[in-house]
Structures are given as structure tokens and as C-alpha cells.
Amino acid sequence: MGKRMGMEVAMAVAEAVGLCNIDMAAVYPITPQSHIAEHLSDLVANGEVDAEFVTVESEHSAMSAVIGASGTGARSYTATSSQGLMYMHELLPIASAMRLPITMAIANRAVSGPLNILNDHSDIMPQRDSGWISIFVENGQEAIDMSIIAFKIAEHQDVMLPVNINIDGFQLTHMVEPFEMPSQEEVNKFLPPFVPHATLHPAKPVTMGAFAMSDYFPEIMKAKDEALKNSKKVVVDVFNEWGKMFGRNYKLVETYKTDDAEVIMLTMGSMGETAQMAIDQLRAKGIKAGLVKLRLWRPFPFEEIKAVIKNAKKLIVTDRAISFGGPGGPVFSEIKSAMYAETQRPLIYNYIYGLGGRDVPVGDFIGMFERVIADTANQLADTYEFWGVRE
Amino acid sequence: MIEVRWHGRGGQGAVTSVELLAVAAIAAGKYAQGFPSFGPERRGAPVAAFTRIDDKKINVRSGIYEPDVVLILDSSLIGLVNVTDGLKPNGKVIVNTNRSPEEIRRELDFKGTVATVDGTGIARKEMGVPIANTTMIGALLKVTGVMELDAMKDSVEHRFGRIAQKNLNAMKRAYDEIKISN
């Protein structure tokens, strides 16, 4: 049986990964991911986790090391943040093109400059098109659960793709909070051993990540796109399996009081629970407000999103990153394009908020709803605004 | 829900205390959050840390702006930091000082509960170090009644091992010796 306990979430993530029978980890410490790196290396050094912990000199090497290790058939893990993720960037599409089921925690943090160590989503957004499965979590329990679930999704024979788990830096990583930690027996039962398609071995040489010019390159890209799209079904299946075993049910898109909602807000990550409190307060005032929480960022769950927002009059998409000089936040552009061909769709608003760790209390979410509801002439729809930014 | 803001200086252990308290509250079956003021912290500089404790699941993840309780680990911060900022009018201030609650009340011009205890003196006697972070947990539990002093035992033992008992003794003394002015 799992155990209810309290611990800092970053350390709990390391504990959860430690239950996954990993063969190796290569992690370069960076705030606010550091406690994952430190605690996992402690677990390995203390002999509690039987794995190779490779102490690399950079994130570029960390990702290179897990790519190599995964190629040999080792269950491989890494974690990073912000500049570390940016430094890994050129290797991310290689991991997915080689169909290596690496998993990586990202303790989301703003990208420089100016230098900032606090939370937003500007580190993961530039990695969007790397061909990784990308999951966001809302609290410590989800961070733990998804850290385990990610291996099963990644290593599924119909998937074989890397997965990143986005855990808001500080707001989640540095929070001591309660959760249930699964037992080793439970994780063993849930997560079967990794069976690779092919392995790098001197006795039976193969080539991975080979050269491909125009003769094969487009076919490989199409195959990768199809693999990522097809992974959605497996993500759903694995979530369901987890739900049956642990009683915690996850969907690609979570909803809160959306059934009769006229105005819906959409969040990703740790803002969800605070926004949920705003929904309750608005409902108490008779406003039909609802909340959609997007858990799966890639592959993007088009059908699931459409189904839950299409009946609303107005949708407020919140973003914690900017596409500079573009159409608004990255989540906003995605939702807008998803709804473009729909005859029945809400007016879509966009707030960019919580950048570089700027706190967003309940009242701010209520303020966004009030501003959107007051926009009876629909002048603010289809465009974006920065929330709570001095001018 | 009870929300506590801790004021201290980097190195005085405010973050350790919020962690110990949250872990103990969770082990006692409650819901809790313990978190630092996010960002870089330096030894000696003013820092804050936060605790939320409730009997039901805590959803809010934004900062604490209107605490129920303010706990001051270092009384030299009074006047330097606006320690009562946002504190509820009927809230509580707990200060590690050898001065009386009345004196602190006058200085802070605060009408709610004021409680003082010489946490540093107790820590020196019980543990041989002038670090009062664990000692002051005893003061907090007495003033708020949020949980039993015994509930701290496991989390303190897990954290401090062979020196745990000294910390528990200091905590108990602060619990017994704190002076409360309502």
C-alpha cells in the first residue's frame, strides 16, 4: 500500500523515480530542479536505488548521456530547468527521432534575460516542436504519479518516445505538502521492465541516429509525427490503468464546473488549483464560470479540448510564456487554431500572466473573469493582454 | 485554515522550521504547506517562510498576504521589516525576545495577541547554540493550539537524529514559558 506523507515535492519526485527501477540517471543540478538531482544522487550513493548516476558537467552532456544509455536499453532519466533545458535543446529532437523512451522532469523556470530563477513556462515552450510527449502537473501528487506513469507511456511498444513532465519551479518543487507515495511493490506491478526495440551492443552492432538526406528524411519526419499523434491513445490507456490501480484518475483535459459554464478559463500547471478557488467564488455570486486544465501539451488533445469548450460563450486562455511579436501566448495560438474550423465556438481571450514568478492570487483570476464578462462589445476577444504588468 | 508567516535571517532556520511543522502536521492527519519565500537567500539577510495548516485539502498556491500569525525569529528585524504587514487585526504575533509582550505590543502598535519567549536563551541552555528555530515551534503550538506538541516528535527525530531530544526539550520549554498578552 502507498503511504500518506509530507515532503518537499522535488525530493518526492526523486523518491518516485527511485521506485521505477531506473538503470541510469544523468542530471546536472540547476535551480529549482536541484533538489531532484541532489536527492536522486543521494538515493543512488546510499545504495537505495541500484542505478548508475552519471555526474556530467552540463545539461548538454546530461541529455547526451541519457540518449546513449537509452540506446543501450537502459531505463534512463534526467531533469532540468530553464537555461539547462535551453542548453539541451539541440539534442531533444534527436532523442525523439531515435525513438528513445527517456523521461525528464522539467522544474519550469523563466528563461534569461534578465536572469530570473522563478517559475513560468518560457523554458518548455521553445521545446514544443522537439517531438516529445509533454505533460503538465498541478500539485505534488501529480508530480509523483506522472514521474512513474511517464516511463510506462514512453516505453510502450506503440510509443517509444521521450516524455517530459513539467513541474512548476518553486510553486511545486519547493513546497512541502501531503501526498501518497506508492510502494515499491505497487510500482513493480504497474511498470514492467523496459523492452527496447534494438540495443547498442558490441556483439551485435547496429546504427542509431544514422545519416539521412532527402531520400529518407521526410519519411522519418512523417513517421515521427504519426508516432507522436498515435501516442495519445496510449497516454489515455496508461492513465486509466493508473486510475484502476491507485484510484487517482487522470484525463488529458480536466474540467471543473464546465457543464453549464458560460465563461471558461484554461490553465496549465500549478495555477489550476488557485483558479479553481476563483471559480467557486464566482459561482457563489451567480456567475456561470468553469475551468479547464490542460494536462497533455503534446500530443495536443484537439478533440478533448473542443468537446469541453465548444458550448461556452467566452474562453479565457492563460499563458505563462510569450510568443514575442506573434499572435499571443503559445497555448492561446494552439486553442485558436484548434477552434478555427468549428462553427460553434466561444470568443477566445488571452491573458499572459505569472511571468518570472509573479504571484497570481485568487483575486487576479476573478479580475480576469470580470474584465472578460464586462467586454460586452467583444473588443478584447481574439487578442492578448498582459495581466498585472505595470506600464 | 491557519496561515503563518515566519520572519528570520538567512541561516536562522526558518525554512527548516516550516518544513518540520508541515511534515508533522501531515503526519498528524492534517493538510499543510511549508514553503520559503522563493528566490535566492543570503546568510544574515531578512528572509520569510510560510506555513498553511488546515483540516481539509489546501488548494491555494499563491503567497500569504494576510497571515493569521506572524512569528519573528529575530527581534532585530522589528522596525527593519514591516513584520505586521497584512496581519489580521485579531491575529497573533510571536516574538523570540527576552522583552515582555506589552513592550512589543507598544513597539508594534498591534491590538491582537502578542506573545514573547526568550527562544535564543532557551536554545543556548538546552542545545548549546543560539539558534531558536525549532524552539519557537513550541511557542507557535502553544499560542495557536493548531496541534499537540507531541506531534512534532517524529519529524524532529527524523531530521535531527541523536540531537533530536535536545530540540524537543527546547520546544517544550518555549511551550511552557511563553508569555501571552491578549
Residue-wise pLDDT for A160-188, tens only, equals 999 999 999 999 999 999 999 999 999 99
Quickly name the fold that domain A3-246 has: Rossmann fold (3.40.50)
B19 vs A contacts (CB less than 8 Å): 8, 176
Q: Phi, psi at residue B160, to the nearest 5°?
A: -110, -5
Confidence of residue B41 (pLDDT cuts 50, 70, 90): confident
Nearest Cβ partner of A359 from B25, B26, B63?
B63
**Nearest CB to B62 within list A174, A177, A360:** A360
Q: Return the domain boundaries, chain A.
A: 3-246, 253-386
Q: Which residue of B has its CA nearest to A364?
A: B62
Distance in Å, alpha carbon of B67 to nearest chain A alpha carbon: 14
What is the H or E stretch that residue A289 is in?
strand A289-294
pLDDT at B44 over 80: yes
Q: Which of A171, A177, A273 to mutate to test the interface with B (most CBs of B within 10 A)?
A: A177
Determine whether the interchain pair B18/A177 forms a contact, defined as Cβ–Cβ distance below 8 Å.
no
User: Cα separation of A125 and A105, whole Å?
Assistant: 14
Identify the pLDDT of residue A96. Answer: 97
Tell me the count of A-B CB pairs closer than 8 A.
68
What is the model's pTM?
A: 0.97
Say what the pLDDT of residue B39 is. Answer: 72
Distance CA B171, CA B163 (A): 13
**Is B61 in contact with A273 (Cβ distance < 8 A)?**
yes
- Asked if the model's pLDDT at residue B59 lies above 80, the reply is yes
Q: How many residues does chain B have?
A: 182
- Tens-digit pLDDT profile for residues B116-148: 999 999 999 999 999 999 999 999 999 999 999
Concatenate the DSSP letters of all residues of A58-72 into one string.
SHHHHHHHHHHHHHT
**Least CA distance to B52: which residue of chain A?**
A177
Q: Tell me, yes or no, if the two domains A3-246 and A253-386 fold the same way.
A: yes
How far apart are alpha carbons A88 and A92 in whole angstroms? 7
Q: Say what the pLDDT of residue A336 is.
A: 96
Please state, for a pLDDT cut of 90, what percent of chain A lies above it. Answer: 99
Which residue in B17, B31, B56, B62 has the most chain A C-beta atoms within 10 A of its own C-beta, making it the best mutation to test that interface? B62
CA distances from A63 to A68, A96, B71, B143 (A): 9, 12, 44, 51
Pairing of strands B113-117, B179-181: antiparallel
Which CATH number is A253-386's, of 3.40.50.920, 3.40.50.720, 3.40.50.2000, 3.90.950.20? 3.40.50.920
Neighbours of B71 (CB within 10 A): 30
Rounded mean pLDDT, B85-100: 98
Query: Counting Cβ atoms within 10 Å, is residue A259 exposed (0-12), middle (13-18) or buried (19+)?
Result: exposed
Helix, strand or coil, per DSSP, at residue B28: coil
Query: Cβ of A129: how many Cβ atoms within 10 Å?
Result: 9
| Residues of chain A contacting residue B65, judged by C-beta atoms under 8 Å apart | 361
Compute the mean pLDDT over every residue in chain A, rounded to the nearest whole number: 97
The C-alpha angle A87, A91, A93, rounded to 5 degrees, equals: 125
List Cβ neighbours of B96 (8 Å cut-off, separation of 6 or more).
B72, B73, B74, B75, B116, B117, B118, B119, B120, B132, B135, B136, B139
Nearest to A14 by CA among A29, A32, A33, A36: A36
Cell numbers at residue A27, please? 542530471
Contact A291, A255 (CB under 8 A): yes
pLDDT at B40 over 80: no
Using the 8-state DSSP alphabet, how is residue A176 labeled? E
A361 and B23 within 8 Å at the Cβ level: the answer is no
CA atoms within 13 A of residue A194's CA, in its CB half-sphere: 29
Beta bridge partners of A370: none
Question: Position of cell 528570520?
Answer: B8
Of A6, A118, A119, the CB nearest to B27: A6
Q: 3-class SS at B3?
A: strand
Query: Using CA atoms, how far apart are residues B94 and B116, in angstroms rounded to an integer?
Result: 6
Answer whether A176 sits within 8 Å of B40, measured CB to CB: no
Residues of chain A found within 8 Å of residue B36, distances taken between Cβ atoms? 174
**Cell digits for A114?**
534578465
Answer for the pair A276, A289: CB distance below 8 angstroms, yes or no: no
* Nearest Cα residue in chain A from B50: A175
Q: A263 to each of A274, A290, A370, B28, how far by Cα in Å?
A: 17, 6, 10, 40
Residue A194: the pLDDT is: 97
C-alpha cell at A296: 497533455
Give residue limits of the domains in chain B.
2-181
Of B23, B38, B58, the CB nearest to A170: B38
Residues of chain A positioned with their CB less than 8 A from the CB of B31? 177-178
Give the three-state DSSP class for B83: coil
Confidence of residue A210 (pLDDT cuts 50, 70, 90): confident
Indicate yes or no: CB of A176 within 8 angstroms of CB of B22.
Answer: yes
In this predicted model, what pLDDT tens digit does every residue of A287-344 receive, in sequence order? 999 999 999 999 999 999 999 999 999 999 999 999 999 999 999 999 999 999 999 9
**Nearest C-alpha neighbor of A142 from the set A151, A150, A152, A153:** A150
Query: A367 pairs with which residues across the strands?
Result: none
Question: A75: distance to nearest CA of chain B, Å?
Answer: 31
DSSP for A338-391 reads HHTT-SS--EEEEEE--GGG----HHHHHHHHHHHHH-TT--STTSEEESS---
* Summary mean pLDDT of chain B: 96
Residues A338, A342, A346: CA angle, nearest 5 degrees: 80
Mean pLDDT, residues A180-197: 97
pLDDT for position B38: 78
Chain segment A46-97, per-residue pLDDT in tens: 999 999 999 999 999 999 999 999 999 999 999 999 999 999 999 999 999 9
A269/A306 Cα distance (integer angstroms): 20
Report the DSSP beta bridge partners of residue B34: A176, B51
Instruction: Determine the Cα–Cα distance for residues A252 and B152; give it in Å rounded to an integer.
Output: 39
Beta strands, E only, chain B: 2-9, 31-36, 46-54, 69-72, 92-96, 113-117, 179-181
User: Which CATH homologous superfamily contains domain B2-181?
Assistant: Pyruvate-ferredoxin oxidoreductase, PFOR, domain III (3.40.920.10)
Report the phi/psi class of residue A271: left, alpha or beta, with left for phi > 0 and alpha for psi in -120 to 50: alpha
Chain A residue whose CA is closest to B57 = A178
Q: How confident is the model at residue B42 (pLDDT cuts 50, 70, 90)?
A: confident
Whole-angstrom Cα distance, residue A271 to residue A293? 9
The pLDDT > 70 percentage for chain B reads: 100
User: Quick one: pLDDT at residue A1?
Assistant: 75
| Binary contact (B32, A8; C-beta < 8 A) | no
Phi, psi of A316 (to 5 degrees): -105, 110
